[in-house]
Amino acid sequence: MSEQVEGCHKSPYLIPQLFIEGLDSDEFLVLRDSIAKRSMECPKDARCFGKAIYGVELDSIVDLVAKKCTRSFIVVLPPDYRRGLLVEAGSYVEPIPLEGMRVAVEVCEGSKVGIEDTIGFIATRKFEVRHIRSHVEGVIVYIYSSPESGPDRNIVLVAPREVVKEIEVQS
């Protein structure tokens, strides 16, 4: 049974934030141990993650064929943006595609899923509704949404619980 994260899908305005290690940006998370501090610059000799547009980055963080992260990333979770999920480069992730004329994703980042848990629903061109279930156990770490127009294309990334590190995000 999936374990929903509090606040999940309660507001369309609460979008997670994505920070990618080594990305040049105007906003950074500087990571030390399990604490990430927000900064406008990357200090020398620090582990820095640059802010990216959430939901459209995919090729820069994961190799879908190898099912591995190519760069470390942090997803900062709403509603208070004080908790993040760190996934290191080289970690295994399972991509679960949801593609159709309309897609309804039923999980959010931070949700724990098991085998046969509902990930979402898709509507096909024949107006059939299909139920998409997880075929792996883990934690939802990122949800990609294609910026191209129709059909809807989403990819939900599920990582094993042991590779997802929870971090505290400070202002």
Residues 36-64: pLDDT tens digits?
A: 999 999 998 889 999 999 988 899 999 99
Task: Enter the DSSP assignment of 92.
Answer: B
Question: Is the pLDDT assigned to residue 2 strictly greater than 50?
Answer: no
CB 120 within 8 A of CB 155: no
Structure tokens at 21: 């290690």
Helix (H, G, I), strand (E, B) or coil at 84: strand
Mean pLDDT rounded to a whole number for the chain? 90
Question: In the prediction, which pLDDT does 1 show?
Answer: 45
Whether the pLDDT of residue 19 is over 50: the answer is yes
- For the cut 60, the answer to whether the pLDDT of residue 3 exceeds it is no
Strand partners, 68: 63, 92
Confidence (pLDDT) at 36: 96
pLDDT at residue 7 is higher than 60: no
Two structure tokens written together for 138: 């883990």
CATH class given for the domain over 17-170: mainly beta
SS3 call for 136: coil
Is the per-residue pLDDT at 161 higher than 80? yes
Q: Which of 10-24, 99-113, 156-170 has the lowest mean pLDDT?
A: 10-24
Q: What is the pLDDT of residues 106-154, one digit of tens each?
A: 999 999 999 999 999 999 888 899 999 999 999 999 999 887 767 888 9
Give residue limits of the domains in the chain.
Answer: 17-170
